[in-house]
Structure 1
């Protein structure tokens, strides 16, 4: 079937109940592959982009620009073409199959609303409570369906150093993350930041980074078609032997077993 560029496309999305948020945060692609494909069989994919490139949703080709929002329903193939390292904030969510639906464009420019809605997804990525996380993502979905919206982005009731550190970790999960560097960005000493993380999450900064990488790797291996080499680079362990060892120690199985659903 021929590709249609910049064609109008929308999806009917059930929004009467909050989503179940499977994963939310920052992602960087185009690190090892200039073209990637994703298919989430059971999850909606919500993205707000910081880059320019191309996205094909099904048979429709879209030009992506910074500040664009994309929503892709379950079982729909996403094909990306990057111009280099490309960052976005995202949420992968499960929505109820039944109930009233609202039409949401597959890709839309958020214009001046982009920073506010992007901040909501960032707030969701730092939220500890699952209900808060779902509420932030739900608000972005409703804004996408009913823009413009006049509500203000909410603030997380956490220490500012924790928020800054979590945001930095999520943005740079693909890179080397040293605790002293994270602490510098968070304007805190290493020991103080570790105490704050233990209070907020029950674990140290370094263990939080390992857990975040493990959770992201598990999700990408099980729920997407992203190549294993690209998954490894995305979570900051580009050496495949080291990534294999990491998956075995943190997730109990090698990457290929996790991808095939054996574990």
Structure 2
């Protein structure tokens, strides 16, 4: 499951700190009007909206506001937490705060992170300064959320955990996303029927094959917009969406901002 978080403005921190759970095996919470960021040092479970998510040490969760949440804990369950309101300007609004928000997709469970210690240090710092230096804490949280988004917004299962037919299909998409891809031909190339490949993608990626291809193209487009000097028209052609109007609409819908906004944001990060 993904949740969409606006990151176009500084977040406002309501609470932050270190919590120790485990004296109760299960606890339920409802955070009114605030999002939750939790960084974990234990294995447990998180449940909401009828779904269950496995927590592991070295991961972080993003949970939406006004949603009943249930955690299942081991005997000793420490985690850092931040309750925040996204999209709130702190102090004088910047040009970014006046403009269109960047709506970013997050997995409910993000990670595990290769440099988990840096996330822990950020959470410790934010918890220690959020009352005395709220603006600085908000900037730190904003940066942390962007890093999590960049690292894990498009998390996929490891290739070797996928059925061979899906591995073949994914490899074909990765090599050919810049050209038209016909789903029937992709299925034949993968050695399974069209309908069965659709079921496999929904099972392993939670989306249709068309949505997976679109996501791949948008990921590559975002990278090129942020890190290359190619024109937007050239990027559209390079990722297989040569119609510039369709490209603009697709990027706006998938990434929450127009290509020109994404390109402009690289100088502000």
TM-score by structure 1 length?
Answer: 0.50
Corresponding residue number in structure 2 for 1:29: 21
- Residue 142 of structure 1 pairs with residue 142 of structure 2: no
1:67 lines up with 2:58 in the alignment:
yes
Name the structure 1 match of 2:264: none
Unaligned runs of 5+ in 1: 1-8, 149-263
Q: Distance in 2 between matches of 1:22 and 1:79?
A: 20
Cα-to-partner distance string for 1:116-162 (whole Å, 9 max, x where unaligned) = 111101111112311111111111211111128xxxxxxxxxxxxxx
Give the match for residue 231 of structure 1.
none
Q: Whose radius of gyration is greater, 1 or 2?
A: 2
User: Shift of residue 114 of structure 1?
Assistant: 1.4
Q: What is the deviation of 1:12?
A: 0.9
User: Match of 2:120, SS?
Assistant: helix
Preserved CA contact (<8 Å) 1:57 1:72: no
Name stretches of at least 5 consecutive residues in structure 2 with no aligned partner. Answer: 89-99, 153-269
Cα displacement string for residues 138-192 of structure 1 (whole angstroms, at most 9, x for unaligned residues): 11211111128xxxxxxxxxxxxxxxxxxxxxxxxxxxxxxxxxxxxxxxxxxxx
1:79 equivalent in alignment to 2:57:
no
Residue number in structure 1 paired with 2:10: 18
Per the alignment, residue 226 of structure 1 pairs with: none
Runs of 4+ in 1 over 3 A off after TM superposition: none
Q: Distance in 2 between matches of 1:144 and 1:12?
A: 13
SS in 2 for 1:111: coil
CA distance in 1, matches of 2:48, 2:38: 13
In the alignment, what sits opposite 1:104?
Answer: 106
Provide the C-alpha distance between the structure 2 equivalents of 1:38 and 1:133, rounded to a whole number of angstroms: 24
2:121 maps to 119
CA RMSD of aligned residues (A): 1.6
Q: Distance in 2 between matches of 1:145 and 1:120?
A: 15
The 3-state SS of whatever aligns with 1:147 is helix
TM-score by length of 2: 0.49
Deviations 1:67-125 (A, max 9, x none): 11100011122111112121001100011388330101110223212111111011111
